Structures are given as structure tokens and as C-alpha cells.
């Protein structure tokens, strides 16, 4: 199946937002473990969520230093999270994620 870079990039962003919102992966190392993506790709994908109007924030852990904490989705913007839930197997298969 031939899939465009635009579609894979879009689905990767949706999947990363879903992982964060579901609590399955709320840090860069956890995203790397869940998807197998390199650190830089995970970081770039997190930064690109704002392009979809997905409000993803880093919550610093109280009393900790050096970015100890987790990411959370504060607002999905125009994205329908229920659509992602319903199509999760297809999204993961298209991206080649376990």
C-alpha cells in the first residue's frame, strides 16, 4: 500500500496525542518505547501537535529539576478523539506500530 508522507505524519501526530491522552505514554522515552520512533522524531512530533491545534503541555513534576514530569493533552481542538479510538487498529497498522 502506497501512503503519502502527509498522511503518515498526520496519523503519527494523532497516535502520539492519543498515547499521551490515554496515559499509555506521557514522556519522550515512553513514546519511543511504545512506537519505536527515534528520540528526535518523538520530540518533533510533540512539537508539531500545535499545528493541528492540539494543546499538549508539559507538566513539571513538583520539586523536580531537569524536565522531570509528563505531557498531557489539554484540548483536542478540531480533532475528534472518538474517531481516533474507533480507527486505532488501522492507524497503528498504517504506521507499522505494534
Cα dihedral sign for 81, 87, 88, 91? Answer: negative
For residues 97 and 79, give the distance between their C-alpha atoms in angstroms, rounded to a whole number. Answer: 21
What distance in Å separates the CA atoms of residue 29 and residue 13, rounded to the nearest whole number? 16
Q: Is the pLDDT of residue 86 over 90?
A: yes
Burial 84-95 (b: 16+ CB within 10 A, else e): beeeeeebeebb
Tens of pLDDT, residues 38-80: 999 999 999 999 999 999 999 987 765 666 789 999 999 999 9
Percent of the chain with pLDDT over 70: 94
Is the full-model pTM beyond 0.75?
yes
Amino acid at each position: 500500500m502506497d501512503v503519502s508522507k502527509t498522511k503518515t505524519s498526520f496519523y503519527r501526530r494523532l497516535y502520539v496525542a492519543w498515547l499521551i491522552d490515554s496515559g499509555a505514554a506521557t514522556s519522550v522515552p515512553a513514546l519511543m518505547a511504545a512506537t519505536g520512533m527515534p528520540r528526535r522524531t518523538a520530540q518533533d512530533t510533540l512539537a508539531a501537535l500545535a499545528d493541528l491545534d492540539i494543546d499538549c503541555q508539559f507538566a513539571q513534576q513538583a520539586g523536580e529539576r531537569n524536565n522531570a514530569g509528563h505531557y498531557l493533552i489539554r484540548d483536542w481542538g478540531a480533532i475528534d478523539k472518538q474517531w481516533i479510538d474507533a480507527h486505532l487498529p488501522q492507524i497503528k497498522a498504517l504506521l507499522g506500530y505494534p
